[in-house]
Amino acid sequence: MSIQNLLDRKGGEVFTTDPTTPVRTAAQLMQARGVAALVVKSADVICGLISERDIVHAISQHGEHALSIAVSDVMTRSAVTVTPSDTLKRAMTLMTNHRLRHLTVIAEGKLVGIISIGDVVKYRLEDLETESSVLRDAYIAAH
């Protein structure tokens, strides 16, 4: 399965924030949108990602003051991306090797989606269930 297949199923909507946004505002946006990460962009340039995990780390280091810090001071500056034509296996390998939970999807230099480890696991399990059903049906038909 390709990343594009995954995006076709889940949708390509990406929520973004500005690097100067306070962490509290970013957390509120994540909560309102039901997402665990936001892409941090300045104009059309991707600066990084801010995730719930980044916010927790910031609070553990700075206490309540972390909520008023700019997103750019606590975000993950990750250059690890995938393209729509990449495979789910490649995404899983990148997430594992770089200890990431989110990857941005870039096509022709533009942000076209974001995938999480949860998305990858969900769609991989669906593929395995389908494969299992096919094998089970083939086994039953053969006997």
- pLDDT tens digits, residue range 66-119? 999 999 999 998 778 999 999 999 999 999 999 999 999 999 989 999 999 999
What domains, with CATH codes, occur in the chain? 3-142 (3.10.580.10)
The confidence score (pLDDT) of residue 71 equals: 97
- Residue 103 burial class via C-beta count within 10 angstroms: exposed 0-12, middle 13-18, buried 19 and up: buried
Higher pLDDT, 96 or 141: 96
The confidence score (pLDDT) of residue 130 equals: 78
Indicate whether this model's pTM tops 0.85.
no
The confidence score (pLDDT) of residue 129 equals: 81
Share of the chain above pLDDT 70, in %: 100
**Does position 4 have pLDDT exceeding 90, yes or no?**
yes
* Strand boundaries in the chain, DSSP class E: 16-17, 37-42, 45-51, 81-82, 102-107, 110-116
Question: Could you tell me the two tokens for 25?
Answer: 């505002």
Question: Could you tell me the two tokens for 24?
Answer: 């509290």
Whole-number Å distance between alpha carbons of 26 and 4: 27
Which residue type occupies 53?
R
